[in-house]
Structure 1
């Protein structure tokens, strides 16, 4: 290990793969390319990279199948690339275990910004590095940073890495209201463009998994015109 993050690029468009590989290598990243979903699953399981850049349409196994197959045992981050620029495809990708989503055509600097944000997040030993403590208890909800584990009423709540990071950020900053600008900047490393709905979708998924649906929401509340807050002791 030479200290440079290792990226697995899963893309069957050879020309695009080579362009992305050359760009990322020039930024100091190590890149391994594979064009088949089944091969990607085998590599992720046997020699996990720091991050996977994953196309959706692949031979062998598509991107969603790759996500679902490896997510439970893979501790790195997954950035999905797709030519299908619609909200439903983003929802499906995030539901399948992706940490972020980027529509094609890929803009190199945007890809790099998203990738760096994911790598920074993955490099933290735990979200407790902000000095606010490693465990948050609110009513019957327990959030443990070191284990990246959540339970409610003693039952485990299965969250993706992206969902856990969003929950931890909201809970650790409570009772502050966090705007979409702040959440996108903290979690994705980019500026909120006024159109990005990924945070709203993650909040919706979190609420469902935490049993905080339907309204009124008692754990993650919407503050109209301002953002979201975590309500302690709901």
Structure 2
């Protein structure tokens, strides 16, 4: 299956030429002319690579690059008419993987796309496991996406709520003391009361009706999952 690429460029001529060369090489290409359109794609159907022009109407390429990079390591190539060293440094510091200055050869663009995909595929052999799934009964966690599902429905949770669920689901039926959970979730430097753990569990139980986190009286908590009997 060929990689998908989104080209964000407000110059129609450059947009058409770049997309034509990429499609000729077999890539699945989507073209948009604004940062707002790009963000819609990012939220609904993110591609395998972005090619971003810097000078865009509304949300510019720098802001778009920064937004994407906050959530993903997807490859980003920045293209710009600006040839100043400072502009290149800014683009790379915001998360761009490569920088091309206009005017550029479409063949060079395709070559850089190929090279970047090769580098990404080589350095991320775990790519096939990006959708790693952890499950305990009706509770499902996707660690890389920090996504939690309960009975098939997404649950909005905080970072600490996710961390404690991740601990439980990877150690099913093991009892953790409040002190252990406090250290694992809040860190060794936390000096607050272990009541923070109780409050966190209380919030989770309120958000997830039926969550099988069991209180171990006088000790702590555990995620109790009944093991299926062998047939």
When the two structures are superposed, what TM-score results if normalisation uses the length of structure 1?
A: 0.51
Distance 1:45 1:120, change over 3 A: farther
1:94, distance to aligned residue in structure 2 (A):
0.7
- Tell me the distance in 2 between the aligned counterparts of 1:47 and 1:9: 14
Cα contact 1:8–1:53 (8 A) shared by 2: yes
> 2:72 corresponds to which residue?
74
Does the aligned pair in 2 maintain the 1:9–1:17 contact within 8 Å?
Answer: yes
Aligned twin of 2:23: 25
Deviations along 1:68-111, whole A, 9 cap, x unmatched? 11112123100000001121110010111111101010211211
Hey, what's the Cα distance between the residues in 1 that align with 2:37 and 2:73? 18
> Which sections of structure 2, spanning at least 5 residues, go unmatched?
127-143, 145-231
**TM-score, length of structure 2 as denominator length:** 0.52
Equivalence for 2:99: 101
SS of 2:7's equivalent? strand
Q: Report Cα offsets for 1:132-171 as digits up to 9, x if no partner.
A: xxxxxxxxxxxxxxx9xxxxxxxxxxxxxxxxxxxxxxxx
Indicate the SS of the match to 2:31: strand
Q: Secondary structure at 2:95's aligned position in 1?
A: coil
CA-based RMSD: 2.0
Is residue 52–residue 79 contact of structure 2 (8 Å, CA) maintained in 1?
yes
Moved over 6 A (4+): none
Conserved? CA contact 2:17–2:106, under 8 Å: no
Note the C-alpha offset of 1:46: 2.2
Q: Decide whether the 8 Å contact of 2:65 with 2:96 is kept in 1.
A: yes
Larger Rg: 2
Distance in 2 (CA, whole Å) between partners of 1:95 and 1:125 is 20
**Contact 2:21-2:107 within 8 A present in 1 as well:** no
The unaligned stretches of length 5 or more in structure 1 are 129-146, 148-234
Aligned residues: 128
Q: Supply the distance in 1 between the matched residues of 2:6 and 2:27 (Cα, whole angstroms).
A: 10
| CA deviation string 1:36-82 (max 9, x = no partner) | 11211221232111110000000120000001111121231000000
Higher relative contact order by CA 8 Å / sep ≥ 6: 1 or 2?
A: 1
Q: Distance in 1 between matches of 2:83 and 2:116?
A: 21
Partners of 1:109 and 1:19 lie apart in 2 by 10
